[in-house]
Amino acid sequence: MRNIGIAIIDDESLVRLGIKSSVAWEEYGYEIVGEADNGQTGLEMIREKHPDIVLLDVCMPVMNGIEVLKSLQKLKIQCKVIILSCHDDFCFVKEAMKNGAFDYLRKNEINSANILTVLEEVRHSLCKKQDEGQGGWDSYARHVCLHRLITGSSEPAERQLPVSQLHIREGNLCCIVFAVQNYQKVQARYGEGRPFPLEQSVINLTVEVLHQWTQELEVFLLQENRYVILLSSQNSVSSTQWEEKVCSLVHELHTVFQNYLNADTCYGVSSAVSKFSALPEAFEHARYSLQLHYFQPDRFLIKEMRKPDRTMSRPEVKECLGDINICVSQKQYTQIFSRFYAFIQWLQQHHRENLDVMGVQNFFSNMVRFLLLQEGKAPEETVEKLQACETVEEAQRFLEDFQKGLKTGEPALDQKNYLIREAADYIRQNLSRGDISLDEIADHLMISKSYLCRLFQKNLGISVQQYIYHTRIEQAKEYLNDFRLKIYEVAELTGFNSSTHFNIVFKKIMRCTPAEYRNGLKQ
């Protein structure tokens, strides 16, 4: 099943960023294959990348959207074009539709729901033109249907895949979510001389093993290294007997992956439910059970029916985290990590409980990010490596190596570090203002703007503007802990000119929206 290729052509970088970060594209069967900031480079990119769908700004420099549409017709390039327009561009939109545009979106109305609605229309249009032998769009429709079945999201009745086309039936439904352990290493050694990519081999093996026992199954890739199995049984067996059978099948799958792929796998399993409407809850239990392998790597199958514990709100944990925050503010690195490891030891002692995995992982990531920003260092690469740790033991080893790389004292700063620290202090002091400029920071430091930019890029690997965004988001996360503040108020307090801009930047850095981040704090 191939993804539908999408290209974005718009001269506003924030619009492109907003579109890219508004949808979990691969989960819905799409892929961003390219982007451009003017019509001419966009046309060249279309000729090179051959996208199925183009999101095209109507008013751009060098070559506008109308000219791009006319060129596409002249060159006989087959793709569906969705025009992006401002509220006062109706005359351009009308002309664009005459020149072959499929639909249009107003920029001030762009959000994930509107984008997906328009793309669904395009997908159905493309589906009619596909040869029956290709079958890719049917597979996509099945994937979307299954995804919505486990998440509980709805779609118009006329677009729903009839449940009769699924291979599962109501009655004794069970959900399994599983992953390949040490995924990056397995993927690195996999592929040479293999006919299928790793993901396809995992799915093929799963289907082959389970088909020996039942035809009532659906298997699909939810996201990278997260596979979902849905099983049902019309046989006259009790729920308990069926759940025991499911666990037996998981044991067999685990052995097959060891023998055929030389890979270990871990599984989260739900209890049996009787209705499709209960699948979202079953899926959440299975997904959470899989997360618990972070604390219980010795078990390859976990079935946890309790909700995640409010681990980060326990009195003993809050006291430990309070001590860590005090040490951070005073840059007492030895004490910070001493308390870090004490917290990890506490987690290991309680590893069989229903701990809040996401809360713990977010705490680790946020502390490392804050420490690096405080030291004037770019945090993203380090945080990504920490988030890739599959167990709490791996996280501890990572933190031990991370500690060695930090200063344990406060030696005299050289001139470059001094200037960066001064710039960082000035940014923090003026954070609530939305108009902090490079000129004023450079004037404050009594250096040129170009030298300021080179200083940040060379020493931190990011631009001054990116550093400002990171600092704003770190402050925003603290404000989000105060549930009396509304999200638009947090945006204003941290210097964002609109809630939309705040959402775009927050999701780009944190990979979730402010609302999703706050909901995670409530758990």
Q: Judging by beta carbons within 10 Å of its beta carbon (0-12, 13-18, 19+), is residue 63 exposed, middle or buried? A: middle
Cα-based torsion angle of the residue sequence 356, 359, 361, 364 in order, rounded to the nearest 10 degrees: -130
Q: Give the pTM.
A: 0.56
> What is the DSSP track for 164-191?
GGSS--SSSBEEEEEEETTHHHHHHH--
Using alpha carbons, select from 217, 223, 279 the residue that is nearest to residue 249. 217
Separation between Cα atoms, residue 448 and residue 419, nearest integer Å: 12
Separation between Cα atoms, residue 364 and residue 181, nearest integer Å: 21
Contacts of 508 (CB under 8 A, 6+ apart): 17, 21
What single DSSP character describes residue 88?
T
Contacts of 205 (CB under 8 A, 6+ apart): 253, 256, 257, 260, 261
104: enclosing H helix or E strand: strand 103-106
| Residues paired with residue 173 on neighbouring β-strands, in sequence order | 273
Separation between Cα atoms, residue 207 and residue 70, nearest integer Å: 47
Tokens for 360, please give them.
């713990």
Tokens for 32, please give them.
């961003």
Separation between Cα atoms, residue 75 and residue 81, nearest integer Å: 15
Sort strands 53-57 and 4-9 into parallel, antiparallel or unpaired.
parallel
| Residues paired with residue 56 on neighbouring β-strands, in sequence order | 9, 83
Geometric angle at alpha carbon 430, from 425 and 432, rounded to 5°: 135
List the chain pLDDT tens, one digit each, 523 residues. Answer: 467 889 999 988 878 888 888 888 887 888 899 999 899 999 999 988 889 899 998 888 788 888 899 898 888 888 889 988 874 556 677 777 778 888 888 877 787 777 887 887 787 766 655 433 344 445 666 777 788 889 886 554 444 455 667 889 888 899 999 999 988 888 877 765 555 578 888 888 898 889 888 889 999 888 888 999 999 987 777 888 888 999 999 999 999 999 888 899 999 999 999 898 899 999 999 999 999 999 999 999 999 988 888 888 888 888 888 888 777 767 677 788 888 888 888 998 888 888 999 889 888 888 888 788 777 677 778 888 898 899 999 998 888 888 877 754 333 334 456 778 788 888 888 888 888 888 888 888 888 888 888 888 877 777 888 888 888 888 888 888 888 888 888 988 888 878 888 888 888 888 788 888 887 765 5
Using alpha carbons, select from 203, 177, 211 the residue that is nearest to residue 279. 177
